[in-house]
Structure 1
Amino acid sequence: MRRLLLVLAIGLGMAGAAPADEPRRGNAGPAGSRAQPEEVYGGAAYGGVHRFDRLSGTGLLAARIKDVATLQSARDNQLVGYGLVIGLQGTGDGLRSSPFTEQSMRAMLENLGVSTRGGQSRSKNIAAVIVTANLPPFVQSGARIDVSVSSMGDATSLAGGTLVMTPLRAPDGEIYAVAQGPVIVSGFSAQGQAETLTQGVPTSGRVPNGGIVERQVPASFGSDATLTLQLRNPDFSTAVRIADAINEYAGHRFGRRVAQEQDARTVLIHRPKDISAARFYAELENIVVESDAPARVVVDERTGTIVIGQQVRISRVAISHGALTVRITEMPRVVQPEPFSRGETAVEPFTAIEAQQPDARVAMLDGPDLETLVSGLNRLGVKPDGIIAILQGIKSAGALQAELVLQ
């Protein structure tokens, strides 16, 4: 009896087990082949598709489509308006130096039924401002948005002020939002008789949720048969990867290809008729692709900021960098006349010129990777402005295998 139960248990276990030669979903089939990545789509239940990584390369960054591209029909719209900020503690516009502020104040009071004829105000608790805002896509009437406020006149600070109701217009001249509320300023300004201290930018601020949308921007997203993806950083390789990844998913989900790369920035996606645009893009936006970027060095000469991309390479070169410092000092001399000579005291110019040139280092620079390149630049012991000059010289010599962008 005990032997019979043991045989029966073994038989049931074998009946419930999967065949040995049938690979599990997400794992490799034949022996020795690479295991498939885990499912990463929002719509992974449709056909059990997997992450697209067949075009993977070295040094590439895996990112979702929503992080590297945007929909052309889902973009922001910019709004602008002119308004007044009141309630300032003597830091507003001088009405004599900013006549438009006084004109706006009088017009506002006239609209409120207050007569301003014959009167003249000299208070500095009001400032003329430009109000800007971005109207996000798909917002409905009644939604709130943040607005930015910037002074137009000679106001020294907008701290403590309140923005009076300001209509915000689009380039078509129509009013799409109205802004009002207290202005939040991050900087401050303090002034005395002999000194002024300013930190940050007190002449600009924000009104969080200060704008109310009054009109919806017409959008065709819901009825578009073709969705247009625009890459934030145009690149042909990334555009092809996005199109192939979408087509791999669509082949499992819809049984056909739906995407076609158009150029380095644009990918066209044809939406099937049996699915809404919102659900269709929601399934596509979480597909993970590997984004590529060209080798680029960005230099900001004003701040001395240097950004070097991971793909940047430098051929083997020898560099000698030495700074020449010329110091010119003006030291006027006072010349006194001889005693009893009836002469006058005179000021005689005197200029001292001093030149210094420290010993320059000669270093071999070879950048097969980013870490080696940075280490080689640090060995030269130069400041950021010197590194900028070195990079420009390397580019002129043809040894910098990257694009040099000067800002």
Structure 2
Amino acid sequence: MTVLAALPMTRPAGCPFDPPEELARRRPLSRLAFPDGHVGWLVTGHALARAVTADPRFSSRHELMRSTLPGPADAEQPPPAPPGMFIGMDPPEHTRYRSLLTAKFTVRRMRLLTERVEQITAELLDAMERHGPPVDLVTAYAQPIPALMICELLGIPHADRESFQRHAAAVNDQDLALEERYGAGAALQTTLRELVLAKRAEPTDDLLSDLTSGDLTDEELANIGALLLAAGLDTTANMLALGTFALLSHPGQLAALRADPGIADQAVEELLRYLSITHTGVRTALEEVELDGHLIKAGDTVILSVQAANRDPAKYADPDTLDLRRNATGHLSFGHGVHQCLGQQLARVEMRVAFPALVTRFPTLRLAIPPEEVPLRAHSDVYGVHRLPVTWDET
């Protein structure tokens, strides 16, 4: 089997929503060379990606991970995930942490937050209208909605929310120098440790205060807070911004949502599938596993191309077409298996409210710059846009 020299990252010119063309042409499973010389595997098929993420023989442990990005020649293997950072752990450690949070992120509990999301959304739209066009939709709308929600959920004081939002976005931005990303992560940790101490001293009505009543250490609580903040802010913010860009680039679909906001649930699932902003996952085999007729050896790293799997024609008919009325259930944008995104229901609530509210409030909404000039987060762990200048006709 031919070995792919590097993970394809370059999207086709003029098609900011499509995966790299080389990914689309790959067979469901192929060999992939890593910058450190390791030869692992690349999964692009939907069924195979789902199988790997559900198989306990494939690990998410941080110390077993390899990066597809070049690093220093003498770079060492990463250390184990710090206490509380359960995304880089396997059961039973992963289960211990996740079980403490599962009851706080149920579908019912997240839907009870709908009224608050509607209030925040209305206030931001009012502010946009008062400001007048043009505005950067990222800073005016897409970022504040999940930022305010996750900060309220964690009980982050108003005075700290702007810096939290800035640092959380920087951690995932691979367009920034490594030192800046590490600095942002360190700043988050420092502030969260201070917040944990404050919650222990004077608990308030929020998730972090609830967790201080258990046996978690300050370090565990700070890391859980950092994980939830990073996962719940940057991803949804980019879905709202890139999703709006996609709708403005597909006027027929935009018109369908504006005419019938009742399709919002379907529209959100289709945008999640179509855009696949968390585009890559990774697992490492703990033992020999046969996959699609090939032997995956213990220690082999498997890269999961979520963006390719979500465009797999074996799963979705005409997968490169954005169709807001499609039944897009089964997409892998929130992952699958024990590591499926804990906050997915909150993200859904935010998007189900925010997209219809935006396009109905501003029926003439459009890009304020040519689409090819929209600055893309091409090298980020979470794909999206840096800015999205939009305008509309004032009444």
TM value normalised by structure 2:
0.16
Higher strand share: 1
Higher helix share: 2
Higher RCO, Cα 8 Å, sep 6+: 2
TM value normalised by structure 1:
0.16
